[in-house]
Structure 1
Amino acid sequence: NQFNSTAVAYDQEETVHGLFEKMARAYPDAPAAIFDTQTLCYGELNEKAGQLARVLRTKGVGPDQPVGIMTDRSPEMIIGILAILKAGGAYLPIDPGYPKERIAYLLQDSQARLLLVKGALVDLAFAGETLDLEDECWYQGESILGVTSGPRHLAYVIYTSGSTGQPKGVMIEHHAVINRLQWMQKRYPLTEQDVILQKTPFSFDVSVWELFWWGMTGASAAFLGPGEEKNPQAIVEAVERWGVTVMHFVPSMLHLFLEAVESTESEKQLSSLRRVFISGEALQVPQAHRCKRLLSQTELVNLYGPTEATVDVSFHDCTGDADLMSVPIGKPIDNIELYVIDEQQHLQPIGVPGELCIAGAGLARGYWNRPELTREKFVDNPFRPGTKMYKTGDLARWLPNGEIEYLGRLDHQVKVRGYRIELGEIEAALV
């Protein structure tokens, strides 16, 4: 327990949309969201999101209410997400590339009454109301409206694979997102000159810090074109074109990216890149070494965390790792406690494997409309009575230096390009 993080006082009354509103007042003309054909400054982004939020309020959007948003990476995506938050709702990201059956299930299970889309919908059964984000009629009139949601209301609901055959919605509150962002800004501070590359699909929780971190500092986000996150050359060109300083990879995509960089000798095009974050899968030592060799000016940071604990709960700075046999997932971030326990919920000694459990500010409220599963995974914390801890199903152990080493899974969950896949879901579909 002596290895766990200490409590850090962050603004517990802050909300995600509140961060952007502050930046819009401080830097109204600064570039915020950069796209191929247009750039939204902070003032314009805040105004459009506010105008749309006013419309959403008239349609009944309020606290703790999921609002579906199904769009590709575009200005409409970030405007729509911020509008949902400003209206007081929780955004429910839906990948337009999902099968129709999965989209229908997410909308039905979440009980969403409103779906924001880009362009006309084709053959989708949805009993609620659909709103086209490309319709200019939504972006008119007053953009200032009163606050209805607070730090303990939901910011988003993201669905992850479920072992019973259907995905499950994870409910994350604003205060958990704020804690995650504030830690990241304290540990790896952005300035107004920084540019984050937003390339993670917004149905994957890693996108959360790509979508919001820059909005608390006056930095910018460059949004990669739809589908280009799988194209290493497009990523290289985007970094060079927009002077990207910060980006993220899952290890499998990092491997392909470094292969392309080495074969095309395009290291010089990445000279602006000062920090790369890795998460979603186990980072291998050869990958870390190769990254540091090809991108010698770039800091490499390994992150770990499940959707149920707001993106990431631990970090490891990949410096001085030459003699390591594996890359640790590191130490807890601020206001997070990590426990390695045995089957009787006793703490394991240093070096002894056990299940990794998470407690603290990042915990989800639970699973949407799944109280039994919530009770199974979010259990009473025996080490801090009156609080909960999340059982990850991950096997891990403490290292003597106070970091954690990831050792695999205790069940049949696998990762594909960083996405959690429960084999039971595939088995149920086959049956």
Structure 2
Amino acid sequence: MNTRMIRLFTGPKVEYSNCSIVNRFEEQVNNHPDKIAILTEGESFTYKDIQTRVNRLSHYLKNGLKIEYGDIVGILSNRRPEFIIGVLAILKIGAAYMPIDRNYPQTRIKYMIENSGSKILLLPVREAEMCENIGVNNVYIDEIINQTYFDIVDKESTIEPYENNLMYVIYTSGSTGNPKGAKVKCHSFLNLLNWYIDELKLKEDDRVLFFTSISFDLAQKNIFAPLITGASICLFSKDQFNVRAISDLIENQNITLINTTPSAFLPIIEYNQKDQFKKLTSLRNVVLGGEALNIYQYLPWLNSEECESNLYNTYGPTECTDIAAFYKVDRRKKDTLSKVPIGIPINNVEIYCIKEEEVDGPWEVYIGGEGVGAGYLNLPEDTAMRFIYLSDNPNKLLYRTGDLVTITLDGNLEFVGRVDNQYKIRGHRIEVEEIESFLARHDHINNSAVLVKERNESKFLCLYYESNNHLTELEVKQYMQAHLPEYMVPDFIVQLDELPLNHHGKVDKQSLPDLRAAPEPSLSSQEHIEENVRLILKKYTKFPEQIDYLDSEENLEHLGIDSIVYISVLVAIETEYNLQFEDEMLEPRSLPNLRSIVNHIQGAMK
């Protein structure tokens, strides 16, 4: 019988105060009530401003709507002050919050509300129309927080949560066709928050840029860490990723900390290289996570005279409170670092690396300690499969990640893959079975298979399907866009007469054909510029060989060019032709194809 090998990596044991987030925020209100807590376009809020509005809303939630201790409350917004006020008010009365990205399709929002048991949906008035038929009472944050009537409750007391009380629920991809709610406990999040503040040495003069989705697990600590240290949060409130506006914000607001995915930060680096990264000089810490970090792409910035920032690579699943391990890039070794490790456990977290003794190769990661969450909401079987106890230590609860690592000679962990069909794309966790299960509900889709492919170190989704009713690829894409988040809609969709099957009767994904190239076009009159743009596109697109056959009128989204890749392409064109695109041109719909880009370049050169 095989025996298991176990390697245990333990983060430092550190005792932290159990004082709640809201109480620590209120301490900062008392220390400097007039200091700016939140900055956004055209307005700012002091610590006292925020507290006043939090008290108004928490009073209404508790006494007007009868939200009780331990309830889960859905809150939908983009990156606006109302979201931060909303979550603080929810936590103040001992409830848990469930962040919902405003860009989610209505069907997904409705499922999350029903599955979580949320009695209400908190949201700004401007989102009222999109949430008219969700099935619960809509409560408009901005209407409540602007009611001075509630100022009589400025002394509304904060309820201290129990150690195992829920902090938030974040829905992640699930294999059944529906997302599953991962439950994170208050004390687990406080452990993360305290480590984050200590490791980055956050203090009152820090300014944290918040430009990720509110429903992203890595976003949560960037709301609270500044507010309990007396620092400031700067909100990037535009829906579209705009590298120029973000760069200006970093420079004008002296941003010191950014936490995002590598694919979101890389365009910022590329855009600022032409100015020797002068807009980024205020950065002291850049914390990246959610996907692989290619250090070579960041060397021009790291080696520049303007860079005085630390660079971190972080690792951790949503079920274990965002970060379980980290690696701080050693500036002295960055030029010889072939692969960036995920590092070592954070404080009070344990990582068990387990494999069968006779098996060569990588280890599977199990996580224990303070970061382990409370399982999945209303999914006891899924919880039992992932949250387990080792036979030789029945009192130690571990989360089985399904991630595979190797161990370096200096004791760091390196991520090498998965044991299943779960992937991370642009930081979002995706189980391809969820997409396949969802498509199985469509009356006219007989069978489907989703593959994750990689090109130019960028992962993307490809869908193959067969239809009994001549369902077009465009119709399939529109159907998915209406029901799934943008990051789960495949970049390439291919219809086949019949999907290949193996001898077990299952889809043989290894036998699926290569993606088809587009028809060869005729050359346009602006041949020289067009060929240059094609060369630039080849550098960034996932299938560079298809650029040679790209029709100049074909939508670039068909090549899997999302908003972040599109920005990188425009930045390269600006450098090549010494021109500058207007802000409104930085959205893919503005210049949707090769012809429109070439025409714009020609017009700018006249």
- Fold shared by both chains (TM-score > 0.5): yes
- 1:200 correspondence with 2:191: no
> Secondary structure in 1 aligned to 2:282?
coil
Tell me how far apart the structure 2 counterparts of residues 224 and 310 of structure 1 sit (CA, whole Å). 24
For the 8 Å contact 1:63–1:154, the answer to whether it is kept is no
Output the aligned Cα RMSD.
Answer: 1.9
The CA deviation string for residues 190-231 of structure 1, in whole angstroms up to 9 with x for no partner, is 111110001111100110111111112111111112325x22
> Which residue does the alignment assign to 1:253?
264
From the superposition, tell whether residues 298 and 396 of structure 1 become closer, same or farther in structure 2 (CA, over 3 Å): same
What is residue 369 of structure 2 aligned with on the other side? 360
The one-letter amino acid of 1:63's match is Y
Give the ranges of 4+ consecutive aligned residues of structure 1 lying more than 6 Å apart after TM superposition: none
Structure 1 pair 347/19, CA: closer, same or farther in 2 (3 Å)?
farther
Equivalent position of 2:536 in the other structure = none
8 Å CA contact 1:15–1:151 kept in 2: the answer is no
- Residue equivalent to 1:324: 337
Aligned-pair distance for 1:384? 4.3
1:5 counterpart = 2:11: yes
Q: Is the 8 Å Cα contact of residues 110 and 135 (structure 2) preserved in structure 1?
A: no
Paired with 1:391 and 1:291, the residues of 2 have a C-alpha distance of: 36
Letter in 1 for 2:12: T
DSSP-derived class of the 2:353 partner: strand
- Measure how far apart 1:65 and its partner are: 1.1
Deviation at 1:323, TM superposition (A): 2.0
Q: Is 1:376 matched up with 2:385?
A: yes
Which residue, out of 138, 156, 159, partners 1:130?
138
Task: Write out per-residue CA displacement over residues 268-313 of structure 1, whole angstroms, 9 at most, x where no aligned residue.
Answer: 1211111111101011131242441355211111111110111101
C-alpha separation in 2, matches of 1:287 and 1:50: 46
1:326 and 1:61, CA in 2 relative to 1: closer, same or farther beyond 3 A?
same
* SS of 1:367 mapped into structure 2: coil
What is the CA-CA distance between 1:123 and the residue it aligns to? 5.3
% of aligned pairs identical?
34
1:226/1:91 Cα in 2 relative to 1: closer, same or farther (>3 Å)?
Answer: farther
- Determine the structure 2 residue equivalent to 1:91: 97
TM-score after normalising by structure 1: 0.94
1:292 is matched with which residue: 298, 302, 305?
302
**Distance across 2 between alignment mates of 1:347 and 1:247:** 43
SS in 2 for 1:240: helix
Q: Contact 2:176–2:433 (CA<8 Å) still a contact in 1? A: yes
The 3 A distance-change label for structure 1 pair 407 and 55 is: same
1:51 equivalenced with 2:45 (yes/no): no
- Distance across 2 between alignment mates of 1:290 and 1:371: 48
Partner residue in 2 for 1:243: 254
Asked if the contact 1:54/1:143 (under 8 Å) is kept, the reply is no
Supply the AA of the counterpart residue of 1:302.
Answer: N
- Counterpart AA for 1:321: K
Deviation at 1:266, TM superposition (A): 5.7
Name the CA distance, whole Å, in 1 between partners of 2:392 and 2:214. 35
Q: Which moved more, 1:251-260 or 1:190-199?
A: 251-260
Q: Say yes or no: does 1:341 pair with 2:349.
A: no
Pairs within 5 Å for 1:5-404: 5-11=11-17, 13-58=18-63, 59-119=65-125, 120-122=128-130, 124-135=132-143, 136-137=146-147, 140-148=151-159, 149-228=161-240, 230-263=241-274, 265=275, 267-294=277-304, 296-319=307-330, 320-342=333-355, 352-382=361-391, 384-404=393-413
> How far 1:382 moved relative to its partner?
4.6
Residue ranges of structure 1 left out of the alignment (5+ in a row)? none
Task: Mark the CA change 1:354 to 1:2 in structure 2 (over 3 Å): closer, same or farther.
Answer: closer
* Deviation at residue 2 of structure 1 after TM alignment: 6.4
Conserved 8 A contact 1:249-1:277: yes
Aligned partners of 1:74 and 1:223 also within 8 Å? yes
Shift of 1:3: 4.0
Change (3 A) 1:383 1:305: farther
Q: Is the 8 A contact 1:251 1:282 kept in 2?
A: yes
User: Residue 272 of structure 1 aligns to which amino acid in structure 2?
Assistant: S
Q: Distance in 1 between matches of 2:303 and 2:207?
A: 23
Q: Distance in 2 between matches of 1:193 and 1:404?
A: 33
| Kept in 1: contact 2:404–2:416 (CA 8 A) | yes
Classify the secondary structure of the residue corresponding to 1:206: helix
Q: What SS does the corresponding residue of 2:217 show, helix, strand or coil?
A: coil
Deviations 1:65-100 (A, max 9, x none): 110111121111111111111121111111111111
CA distance in structure 2 between the partners assigned to 1:221 and 1:8 by the alignment: 27
Q: What secondary structure is seen at the aligned counterpart in 2 of 1:94?
A: strand
Shift of 1:383: 6.1
TM-score for both structures, normalised by structure 2: 0.67
2:279 is paired with a residue of what secondary structure? helix
CA contact (8 A) 1:261 1:267 kept: yes
Q: Which has the higher contact order (CA 8 A, sep 6+)?
A: 1
Q: Which runs of 5+ in 2 are unaligned?
A: 1-6, 441-606
Query: d(CA) in 2 for partners of 1:102 and 1:2?
Result: 39
- Is the contact made by 1:250 and 1:278 (CA closer than 8 Å) also made in structure 2? yes
**In structure 2, what is the equivalent of residue 429 of structure 1?**
438
Structure possessing the higher radius of gyration over alpha carbons: 2
